[in-house]
Amino acid sequence: MPEYSLPKTYDFESTEQRIYAWWSDNGYFKPTNDPNQPGFDPTRKPYVISIPPPNVTGELHLGHAMFVSMEDLMIRYHRMKGVPTLWVPGTDHAGIATQLQIEKALAREGKTREQIRREEFLARTWAWKEKYGGIITQQIRRLGASCDWQRERFTLDDGLSVAVREAFVRLYEKGLIYRGPRLINWSPGLRTAVSDLEVEYSEEPGTLYYFKYMLAGSPGDFIPVATTRPETILGDTAVAVHPEDKRYQAYIGQNVIVPILGREISVIADEYVDREFGGGALKVTPGHDPNDYAIAQRHNLQMISILDEAARVNSNGGPYEGQDRFEARENLWADMRTAGLTIKEEPYTLNVPRSQRGGEIIEPMISTQWFVNIQPLADAALEAVRDGRIKIVPERFTKVYYNWLENIEDWCISRQLWWGHRIPVWYCADCGEMTVSRDDPTACSHCGGGNLEQDPDVLDTWFSSGLWPFSTLGWPEDTPDFQYFYPTTMMETGYDILFFWVARMIMSGLEFTGQIPFDTVYLHGLIRDEQGKKMSKSYGNVIDPLTVMEEMGTDALRFTLLVGSTPGNDMNLSLKKVEANRNFANKLWNVGRFVTNSISQAPASPQAEPDWTLADSWIWARLQNLVNDVERLFQNYQYGEAGRQIYDFFWGDFADWYIEIAKLQLSEGSDRAYYTASTITKVLDISLRLLHPFTPFVTEELWGHIKRACQDHDLNIYPDGDWPPALIVAPWPEPRSPEGWEDEKAADFSLVQDIVRAIRNLRAEKGVKPGRRIPAIFVSEQKSAVLSSQSRALAALAQLDLDQLTITGRLNTKPEGHIGLVIGPVEVYLPLSGLVDQREERARLEKDLAEIKAQVERLETLLGGAFAEKAPPAVVRKEQDKLATYLVTAEKLQLQLDALESS
RNA sequence: GGGCGGUUAGCUCAGCUGGUUAGAGCGUUGCGUUGACAUCGCAAAGGUCGUUGGUUCGAGUCCAAUACCGCCCACCA
């Protein structure tokens, strides 16, 4: 019974929470260089990430799993490199989203927020937050997030609220915030303004209505006008035609009559009008259409609002007052038809603006709101990326970023909600002036009166999240954290919030701190279902990360997300992939079992280290190669590719080949066994270190077992037995340049692999029973030394009879009753007498020969052409070597064929 | 209307500065109780890298055009 008997299967359930608590208890998530602790060194540059704060009452979804995995990978990698790292966690109050949840809960009690009043509503929301606010952060912990939880923040914290007020007041004092009536996007269901970004457009079938605008001056005469929204006729203040449109030129300046209402409005000329569309004339509704609003400003037109907060027709709508906007549409149209004012209706595809949150149709309305004059901030934000102070990965998103900022409109920041940062503006009942203040004022700053009332509105959630990278570090106070950890290093998030969040953080960071908030933006893609469809509850294709973690382990999910994604590209997730990676975790585990057993069985007190075997050299070279590649890929943010390469190395090279050969070397006893145990331990150790940022739990757990086994058996793989206390803080493997011997060893080992594969292949083809050991004759002039040294390995891997192996430089006659194989410079003969079929053999040899000859021909042409002169010498030499090998192979194949003919 | 991404094996995808026989996982087929692992092993089948043209000694990789799929921005009522 081995001393270390690990279970056969990796048990993630019993591991993950224990390991997480252990890391946390040992303080590994905290920065190793902390400005609030003794021994702080301000010259060491930290690596800092601010977490994209999830909605405080949200539930974990795959988007969270994605960014947590990615950021945790970045953090763990840098931590292992010895860089002081800080990952600041926190949550967002998510104004609209949270308020909607509370309102829904209220609705179930048959209440509205207006009924219970603001104070009571906020109390309930806070209670809700207290109750559910911990769930999401708990779930993020389950993913293995190595955040410094002592620095956790919430956007409505006192400190962050101070930051929000500071930001608002500064902008106001600089004249970059203003209040006024403007056409904004109104959400009638939520009864609040929303920003342009919060409106989504969807193509939907609708109707284009044609009707008559009767001329006031000449009865019976009319201008035909088309609209998709007849109810807005009630708010028309002009009819516009193109100035050069001959049909209507005569009417310009005349009056037309608004249907049903009978108001007179004038016909104006504006180049915006498209003569081809509809009748060529445009009704102008400045109060409910952005383009019409612009026209109205050019022509100084009156602006009429016809809808109230709930999008019901108001008193400007005459007989339709009180009707819902869609109801009014039908009724007005019916009345117009009765009045003979309609022309026709035709089907038409509309682009309907809908609320990102509620999904209802957004109504453009004129409303008094607070705005940020964004242009100066946008210019600075553009400059920071243009001059390279901030780098966006993948690079193509910089163009998207530029395009948005170059065409940006002022930002409507006030929301008619209750849950959020209340606007720090007070209105004086005595003098009517505004007091804008960082602290709650007791008196009007203008008249000194005490009759102050605070603006009832709150700020857009993104206003506070825009301050996140520095508000979480203590800004506006100049705290030690802010001084040391700001600017942060990496902003990792989904490309879908590039505008909402990233751009605004850059604008705010530059404006308020005078510095960039982070130097790199890494954007990951969205996660879709197996077919590439968006996951949504209505499709029923949502994958719940918690279920996946429960069933297959956190590491399997993390590895799938990390390795399955390419920067900026969406990924399609299927459970099959997670399953494959659960199997990988299990593979790791079982290699670990093998290694711990080997350690505990290895002989003690080593003598001098024996020469490395070919396999030893090969695996070291491969591993070193891997370390270098991973480092390069990490530097280029190619995390997925790095993970894939580690996977391939671990399974395809280490487990499939080296471990199999190691079994032989271990059975040799004494020093060879000791050093082989040491080698597999070292290779595993480095593999675990490389994998740790991807799959932290299984690697940490396994590494702990390896460490204990080594310590108990005096096997030192770290100098002086100086083991790191935990894998999470173990040093990252150092890249090294090759020493020159690697290529030859790689070529020799690859020959061994090819021989083994060829023999296995033939055995399978001929139906030789697995396990049956057969004799073999190896013939090669150039490689007999390699073959001799590898006889045991060849015998074991290809199931040959070691006692009946012949290795020779040349053979005069082909052995009777053998099947011959040619692998490069090596011939192998296997005595499969009963299974030899002359015709089959000839066919096989001819096929191989034909292939080789084709290659020879190709290479001869290649090397005879301009390639030999123009290609780099190293590339040419490689091809020449190949040709030489092919020629030898061809020759040997030909000899075998000849032998077959003559027998 | 403008911009971006994708198109590689039956499916889902890698393939990063061009190097000459294009990879993985899953699936399929055949064999298998080799004391790490059946969440496994061995072997096999399977691809004119969307199309056309160009640059180059050399193109899945670079350039141009084009088709289809998807996304973002703008929003002609």
Query: Token pair of A384, please?
Result: 């920071």
User: Which nucleotide has the shortest C1'-to-CA distance from A851?
Assistant: B21
**Which of chain A's residues 447-476 bind strand B, using a 7 Å CB cutoff?**
none
Q: Which H or E run includes A198?
A: none
Read off the DSSP letter of residue A782. S
Q: Which amino acid is at A24?
A: S
Between CA A867 and C1' B59 the distance (Å) reads 15
pLDDT at residue number A4: 60
Cβ atoms of A828 and A755 within 8 Å: the answer is yes
A403 Cβ contacts chain B strand, under 7 Å:
yes
Q: Which residues are within 8 A (CB) of A733 and not within 5 positions of it... i.e. 6 or more apart?
A: A627, A630, A686, A689, A690
A533 Cβ contacts chain B strand, under 7 Å:
no
A660 Cβ contacts chain B strand, under 7 Å:
yes
User: Which nucleotide has the shortest C1'-to-CA distance from A2?
Assistant: B35
Between CA A496 and C1' B72 the distance (Å) reads 9
How far apart CA A374 and CA A466 sit, in angstroms, is 13
A580 Cβ contacts chain B strand, under 7 Å:
yes
A404 Cβ contacts chain B strand, under 7 Å:
yes
Cβ atoms of A388 and A132 within 8 Å: the answer is no
**Sheet with A452-454: strands ordered across:** A434-436, A425-428, A452-454
- With H, G, I as helix, E, B as strand and everything else as coil, classify residue A143: coil
Beta bridge partners of A185: A194, A364
Cβ atoms of A374 and A382 within 8 Å: the answer is no
User: Which nucleotide has the shortest C1'-to-CA distance from A889?
Assistant: B21
How far apart CA A39 and CA A35 sit, in angstroms, is 8
User: Which nucleotide has the shortest C1'-to-CA distance from A403?
Assistant: B73
Between CA A821 and C1' B1 the distance (Å) reads 65
Query: Token pair of A228, please?
Result: 């998709």
Q: Which H or E run includes A545?
A: helix A545-552
How far apart CA A774 and CA A832 sit, in angstroms, is 9
A396 Cβ contacts chain B strand, under 7 Å:
yes
Q: Which residues are within 8 A (CB) of A348 and not within 5 positions of it... i.e. 6 or more apart?
A: A205, A206, A207, A208, A228
**Which of chain A's residues 492-511 bind strand B, using a 7 Å CB cutoff?**
496, 499
Positive/negative CA dihedral, A359, A61, A498, A477: positive
The full 3-state SS of A302-319, as one line of letters, equals CCCCCECCCCEECHHHHH
What confidence tens digit (pLDDT) does each residue in A264-311 have?
A: 999 999 988 888 887 889 999 999 999 999 999 999 999 999 999 999
Between CA A586 and C1' B27 the distance (Å) reads 21
A197 Cβ contacts chain B strand, under 7 Å:
yes
Q: At what angle do helices A873-902 and A838-864 cross, to 10 degrees?
A: 150
ipTM of the complex: 0.95
Note the helical H segments in A227-363: 290-299, 325-338
Closest protein residue to B42 using CA and C1' atoms?
Answer: A760
Between CA A568 and C1' B49 the distance (Å) reads 22
Note the helical H segments in A614-695: 614-635, 639-648, 659-667, 670-691
**Which of chain A's residues 732-791 bind strand B, using a 7 Å CB cutoff?**
756-757, 760-761, 764-765, 769-771
Between CA A715 and C1' B40 the distance (Å) reads 29
B/e letters for A2-34, b = 16+ CB within 10 Å, e = fewer, are eebebeeebebeebbeebbeebeeeebbbbbbb
> Looking up tokens 């204990």, which residue turns up?
A708
Q: CA A170, A171, A172, A177: dihedral to nearest 10 degrees? A: -170
Between CA A538 and C1' B9 the distance (Å) reads 33
User: Which nucleotide has the shortest C1'-to-CA distance from A767?
Assistant: B31
Nucleotides in chain B near protein beta carbons (<7 Å): 3-6, 11-16, 19-21, 24-26, 30-32, 34, 36-44, 56-58, 72-77
| CA dist list (Å): A668 to A611, A664, A675, A676 | 14, 7, 11, 10
Instruction: Give the residue ranges of chain A where pLDDT is below 70.
Output: 1-4, 605, 607, 833-836, 903
pLDDT at residue number A510: 97
Between CA A7 and C1' B16 the distance (Å) reads 40
Q: CA A178, A183, A186, A188: dihedral to nearest 10 degrees? A: 120
Nearest alpha-carbon partner for A212 in A181, A183, A237, A233:
A233
- With H, G, I as helix, E, B as strand and everything else as coil, classify residue A737: coil
A648 Cβ contacts chain B strand, under 7 Å:
yes
Between CA A573 and C1' B48 the distance (Å) reads 30
Nearest alpha-carbon partner for A491 in A571, A390, A423:
A390
User: Whole-angstrom distance between the N-terminal and C-terminal Cα of chain A?
Assistant: 56
User: Which nucleotide has the shortest C1'-to-CA distance from A579?
Assistant: B39
pLDDT at residue number A2: 43
User: Which nucleotide has the shortest C1'-to-CA distance from A583?
Assistant: B39
Is the preceding omega at residue A347 within 30 degrees of 0, hence cis? no
Closest protein residue to B2 using CA and C1' atoms?
Answer: A403
**Sheet with A826-830: strands ordered across:** A800-808, A774-779, A826-830, A819-823
**Which of chain A's residues 559-578 bind strand B, using a 7 Å CB cutoff?**
564, 566, 569, 571-572, 574, 576-577
**Which of chain A's residues 864-903 bind strand B, using a 7 Å CB cutoff?**
865-867, 870-872, 875, 878-879, 882, 886
Closest protein residue to B5 using CA and C1' atoms?
Answer: A569
Closest protein residue to B40 using CA and C1' atoms?
Answer: A587
